[in-house]
Amino acid sequence: METVLQILPERISEWIRKLPVKMLEDLEEVRLRISRPVEVSTRGMPHFLPYIFTKSDEELFISKLAKHSFYTLDEELKKGYITIEGGHRIGLAGKVILENGSVRAIRHLASFNIRIAREKIGAAEKYLPYIFKNRWKNTMIIGPPQTGKTTLLRDVARLVSSGFEDNEIPALKAGIVDERSEIAGCLNGVPQLQFGPRIDVLDACPKAEGMMMMIRSMSPDVLIVDEIGREEDRFAIMEAVNAGITLIMTTHGSNLDEVRKRPLLNQILEEQVFERFIELSRCNGPGTVTSIKGVDGELLTSEKRIHPYD
Domain ranges of the chain: 2-115, 125-305
d(Cα 8, Cα 197) in Å, to the nearest integer?
33
d(Cα 301, Cα 291) in Å, to the nearest integer?
6
What is the CA angle 109-110-112, rounded to 5? 90
Tell me how far CA of residue 215 lies from CA of 113, 200, 226, 236, in angstroms. Answer: 35, 12, 17, 9
Which of helix, strand or coil describes residue 213? helix
| 288 closest CA partner among 116, 113, 141, 119 | 141
**Strand pairing category for 27-33 and 37-42:** antiparallel
Domain 125-305 has CATH 3.40.50.1000: no
Domain 2-115 has CATH 3.40.50.2300: no
d(Cα 160, Cα 249) in Å, to the nearest integer?
13
Are 308 and 147 in contact, with CB atoms under 8 Å apart?
Answer: no
What letter would DSSP give residue 206?
-
H or E, element range at 35: none
Burial class (CB in 10 A: 0-12, 13-18, 19+), 58: buried
pLDDT of res. 54? 97
Global pTM reads 0.82
pLDDT of res. 72? 55
Among positive and negative, which fits the CA dihedral 229, 109, 183, 287?
A: negative
3-state helix, strand, coil in the chain (%, to 5): 35, 30, 35
d(Cα 186, Cα 86) in Å, to the nearest integer?
7
Residues of the chain under the 70 pLDDT cut: 68-77, 166-167, 302-310
What letter would DSSP give residue 285?
B
2-115 and 125-305 share one fold: no
pLDDT of res. 17? 96
d(Cα 255, Cα 262) in Å, to the nearest integer?
12
pLDDT of res. 69? 47
d(Cα 173, Cα 167) in Å, to the nearest integer?
18
